[in-house]
Amino acid sequence: MKVQVSAFDLAKAKGAVVAFVQEGNKLTTFAQAQDDQTKLFSETDRGRFTGGFKQLQLVNDKKDQTIYVGVGKKVAQGQWRKLGLSLGKKLESMGIAEATILLDGDASDVSVVEAACEFAEGADQAFYRLDEFKSDMKPAHKTKFKKMNFMVAEEELKATKAALKDFEEVSQAVYMARDLVNLPGNVVTPDYMEEKALQLKTHGIKVDVYDEKKLKKLGMNLMLSVGNASKYDTRMIVMTYNGAAKTAPTYAMVGKGITFDTGGYSLKPAANMVGMHADMGGAAAVLGAMRLLAGKKAKVNVVAVLAVAENMVSSDATRPSDIVTGYAGKSVEILNTDAEGRLVLCDAIAWTVDKIKPAAILDIATLTGACMMALGAHYAGGFSNNDEVFHDLEEAGNKSGDRVWRLPIGPEYHAMIKSDFADIANIGGMYAGASTAACFLEKFVEETPWAHIDVAGVAMGGKLGPNPEIKGGTGFGVKLLAEYMMSKAK
């Protein structure tokens, strides 16, 4: 969707008008100004509408529609996004193409600028569709919504315009990640991931692909072991974006890109295997974030690494209890082939630490069911060896709406992944599964400031995940990673 910002002027409102009402049917300043002219709100039977949070009231004039959105008492950080999403769904169901949002500073804990950004992001999520497999998808079924106009007070105009200038970049980056997560495993193969990454070259991003031959030469046997049974080649995709001076530090992101996770010989039960085409949600977030950083011309240097493989079963597959030594020279006893994310990631992380020497490294992965059990759809799990990195990540999370909750790592959890015959085991037993997975990765980051983001519970919405508001991929992580990186801009 397109976004425009202009100064408050009712005469220039286009499309449906959206006005905000506080609890007790208290109109905000702009809503009141509209009502003074039209009496639309005050002279309509509003039924049970009280201005409660997320309540919607549609009032039709002869030619115009006004939608009153209840905001409750005051809208806290993150909540404008929710209001945007519910309004977006309403606009979508009504087939409306354009709306004008009357946004004053009333009723908000956050600034008008933040409120507008959040609201736009939330609404934009409502218009997302994946319809290429619906054979009956006539144009009539497609989203009609095109443009959202924010009307703000004169003194907010400049800052709000500036903040929303690149809105379409945000929209497209998040949509791209959602498409990648939603498209099934027979479409988003490792080959397809490479193709998508290469497309980012046109955005000014350098892309290097390490194929199986190169990976073998580098000794990245843990990554290779995961994809060994797949007919598609495993690869590591390295993307470089230099938005800052050569002398500025480089930050790194690493994403788990398992295009389908059967579990391998530690086969998943049928019900748990459904949806495992989304096991590349981390890589999708990294791709989206790179696109967004380039789109915004962020003044930061970033290297992004995608660890891409398909976890299948064949006579070439890894056997539970195989011992494999990867790039870092550490041997791993693979007791469970379904704990494959950490295997592709550890080689990618070890390579990144060794070759890129980043100032900090963030990895993101749909890593453990345990994390989903712990936090559901409301927070990603966060783990870090560095309080400053985690603090900045948490802040980026609160700002972007992709929130992160810190979970523990430490010697107690490291002790759980000791192996009898190798340096490390790839599983730590049935307890604290998110923390033992993080500890496994920590062994490969050495002294580099690092945070790990487990998005198993948040990458997918709807039926397949604990987030019922959004169907399929959520795009979680795109804005989080980009926000973190932009906080490092010089």
* Residues designated as active site: 268, 342
Determine the size of the site formed for Mg ion (CB under 5 A): 1
**Member of 115, 303, 370, 445 binding ligand BES (CB under 6 A):** 370
Q: Does residue 371 sit in helix, strand or coil?
A: helix
Taking CB under 5 A as the criterion, which residues in 193-232 touch Mg ion?
A: 230
Q: Which residues pair with 56 in a beta bridge?
A: 69
Which region, judged by CB under 6 A, interacts with ligand BES, from 116-124, 125-133, 246-254, 361-369?
361-369
Q: Which is nearer to Mg ion, 216 or 297 (CB)?
A: 216
User: What letters, b where the CB count within 10 A reaches 16 and e where it falls short, cover 295-327?
Assistant: bbebebbbbbbbbbbbbbbeeebbebeeebebb
Decide if residue 310 touches Zn ion (CB under 5 A). no
Residue 230: name its binding partner from Zn ion, ligand BES, Mg ion, none (Cβ under 5 to 8 Å by kind). Answer: Mg ion
Interaction partner, residue 370 (Mg ion, ligand BES, Zn ion, none; CB < 5-8 Å by kind): ligand BES
Q: Give the neighbor-by-neighbor strand order of the sheet with 322-325.
A: 322-325, 331-334, 424-425
At residue 120, what is the residue type? A
What is the closest distance, in whole angstroms, from the C-beta atom of residue 219 to Mg ion in the complex?
Answer: 17
Residue with tokens 């948040």: 458
Please tell me the distance from the alpha carbon of residue 86 to that of residue 481, in angstroms, as a whole number.
25
How many residues touch ligand BES (CB under 6 A)? 16
Among residue numbers 320 through 339, which ones bind Zn ion (CB under 5 A)? 338
Out of 261, 392, 402, 442, name the contact with Zn ion by CB under 5 A: 261
Question: How close are the terminal C-alpha atoms of the chain, in Å?
Answer: 30
DSSP string, 142-168: S----EEEEEE-GGGHHHHHHHHTTHH
Cα–Cα distance, 259 to 234 (Å, whole number): 10
Is the separation of the CB atoms in 234 and 227 below 8 Å? yes
The yes or no reply on residue 66 touching Mg ion (CB under 5 A) is: no
Cβ closest to Mg ion, residue 48 vs residue 213: 213
Q: Which of 53-61, 183-191, 290-298, 363-371 is the region at the interface with ligand BES (rule: CB under 6 A)?
A: 363-371
- Minimal CB distance residue for ligand BES: 369
What phi-psi label fits residue 55: left (phi over 0), alpha (psi between -120 and 50 degrees) or beta?
beta
Does residue 427 touch ligand BES according to CB under 6 A?
Answer: yes
Both tokens of residue 76? 């806290």
Q: What is the CA radius of gyration of the chain?
A: 24
* Residues at the contact surface with ligand BES, assessed by CB under 6 A: 261, 279, 336, 338-341, 366-370, 372, 427, 433, 456
* Residues at the contact surface with Mg ion, assessed by CB under 5 A: 230
* Residues at the contact surface with Zn ion, assessed by CB under 5 A: 261, 338, 340
